[in-house]
Every structure is written in C-alpha cells, then in structure tokens.
Amino acid sequence: MSGAVRDAAEYHKGSAPLGRSAVDDFPDRIMAIAAEHRPSRMPFFRNFMELPRSVGCSPDVLGQIYLVYQAAMHATRAAVYFMPHLDSPALRRRKLQIYVDDDGLPDGDTHHYQLARAFRSIGAALPIGDEEFGEAEGLCRRVDPATAHFVRLTKALYARSLGPWCAVEVMSDDWMRALADALAVHHPKIREAAYFAECFDGHVEERHADESLAVTCMVLRARPYLIDDTLRDAKTIAEALDGVWGQLDRIIASRH
C-alpha cells in the first residue's frame, strides 16, 4: 500500500494538492472493498480443513475444486492482456512485466501449469486438460453458473476499467494463503509446490497489489473522471469472486 501511494506521488511531482484528492483516497477505497470481501472470511476454507480425510483427499473432489479455481484464475490471467489506458511507453513496459510475471516464467512455465502440477501432486483427478482453458464462453460451458458469471464478468470488466485488476491483486495474497492453509491440513507438502512457494517466498502477490494501485493512480491522475467507474467495477468483481468461493463450498458440502 505505502509503495503504491509513494509511486503515485512521484508521478505527480510538483503539483501537490492542498488537501487529499479522490485519487489520493483511491488506494484506501480499494483496500476497503478488499477488506469487506476478504476471501479468507468465506466458509469454504475453514470447512475444507474440517473435512474427513476421505473427502479432503478425494481425487474427484480435488478435481472439482481445481476446475473452479483454475477457471477463475485463468479468466483473470487472460483478461490482463486487454486492460485499458496503459498506452504510454512507461506504462506499456510495466504492463509487459505483468504479463511476464504470469506467463513468462523460466523454461516456459506459467502459474497455470504450476497450479495444475500442485493439484496433480495431491492426487486430484483433473477434469479437463491445460489447453482446454481457452476463450471465456467455451470455458463457461464447463463450469457452474457462479464460476461462469465470474469468468464472463472478468473478461468484460478488465477490458474497460483497472478497478477489477486492483481488487483482485489486493485480495490475491489473502486467498492464496487461505487456500494453502486449507489444503495443507490434508496435504502437508502443498506449500512446497511452486505455485505457492514462489509467490510466498518472493511476496509476488503483495508486489502485484502495490503495482496495480500505483499504476491505476497514475492513470486516474490523468483521467480523474474514471474514478467512480473504476471503483464500481472493483466492487462488482469482488462480489462475483465471493460467488466462486461459495461454489467451492457447495462442492465440499455435497460430499460431506
């Protein structure tokens, strides 16, 4: 958070306002949305911990959880390629780094492949192959209505506003830690999987959160008329993400 605010201030050197502006308040308002919709507060994570081992280790249950979670994550990774307003040379360079962090890992690895390996390592029966996570509508036909809603909404909102990106990035460290903690009750080595270990050790999600806020503040200083729509879209995606965690809870409730 502090890094984001500092970056935004650097961008606007020489024109310090007499009081706080709507842009100055933007990071706090995103953080408030993230706090209200904090993923780890959702029942799924606690309920998974309390499952009988036979359910927590079920290949079918793990595979269903994987499909929903990977679909939601795929939607956000694909959508960042269409984010608006990042058109200047400096912002294009920062946009490229976002792509590299997700899809430019060494030896052709990506967060998608890392997540699939993590679930295979704990015995999940993955319902669809890696390359079947493609365009949004095709993927929506493979998932439940709540997840499909999130996938469709992500595609639409990321293309028109930076708010959803900010909300997702600010919440992502919370849900990754909650998911790792939940899975670890039945699968103690899961935190060693690259998908979790590399993010936690390098504080990747926290860095992405600061970067999303910093970059968006830069854009909003140049286009302050976008603030209301940006915050509205951040709130909308946070509400839809609640639906994804709700669907994961329904999966385990149906087996317990």
Provide the angle, in degrees to the nearest 10, between the axes of the packed helices 163-186 and 227-253. 20
All domains in the chain, ordered by first residue: 2-9+22-253 (1.20.910.10)
For 168, half-sphere exposure in the C-beta direction (CA atoms, 13 angstrom radius) is 25
52 vs 43, 47, 81, 120, CA distance in Å?
A: 16, 10, 41, 20
Residue with tokens 């960042």: 80
pLDDT at 256: 66
Amino acid at 43: P
Phi, psi dihedrals of residue 188, rounded to the nearest 5°: -60, -25
pLDDT of residue 15: 40
Read off the tokens for 115: 């997540």
- pLDDT tens across the length of the chain (256 residues): 334 434 434 433 434 344 579 999 999 999 999 999 999 999 999 999 999 999 999 999 999 999 999 999 999 999 999 999 998 888 888 888 877 876 766 777 888 999 999 999 999 999 999 999 999 999 999 999 999 999 999 999 999 999 999 999 999 999 999 999 999 999 999 999 999 998 888 788 888 899 999 999 999 999 999 999 999 999 999 999 999 999 999 999 988 6
pLDDT at 19: 58
Between CA 225 and CA 161 the distance in angstroms is: 12
Tokens of 248: 């994961």
Q: Report the alpha-carbon distance of residue 226 to residue 201 in Å, rounded.
A: 35
Q: Which helix (H) or strand (E) segment is 152 a member of?
A: helix 145-158
In angstroms, the Cα distances linking 153 to 61, 81, 173 are 26, 15, 21
CA 223 to chain centre: 25
Q: Are 168 and 244 in contact (CB under 8 A)?
A: no
